[in-house]
Amino acid sequence: MKKMISKVTNKANMLAIKAKMALANNHAEGFVDTAIKILMAVVIGALVLAGLYMLFDKTVLPTLVQRIKDMFNYAG
């Protein structure tokens, strides 16, 4: 009976040690950080592009479109 209790205790201790080592291991931590950085860059880039489009849509693009139409107006 003591032998069986000793075996179970040893297995439980080994399992606890393995769990502690697995939790302390930070080997693949860089993958999560890289994914978050890429996602942040994409979101910030999209926001900047949307802001630039809203800015240039009202001020620059109408005059640019009119100038292009005037350039290709061969009637005059």
For residue 54, what pLDDT band results from cuts at 50, 70 and 90?
Answer: confident
Note the pLDDT of residue 28: 62
Report if pTM > 0.75.
no
50 has a pLDDT exceeding 80 = yes
Q: How far apart are CA 56 and CA 76, in angstroms?
A: 29
Work out the number of other CB atoms within 10 angstroms of the CB of residue 17: 10
Specify the 3-state DSSP secondary structure of 50: helix
Looking up tokens 């061969």, which residue turns up? 74
CA distance 27 to 23: 10
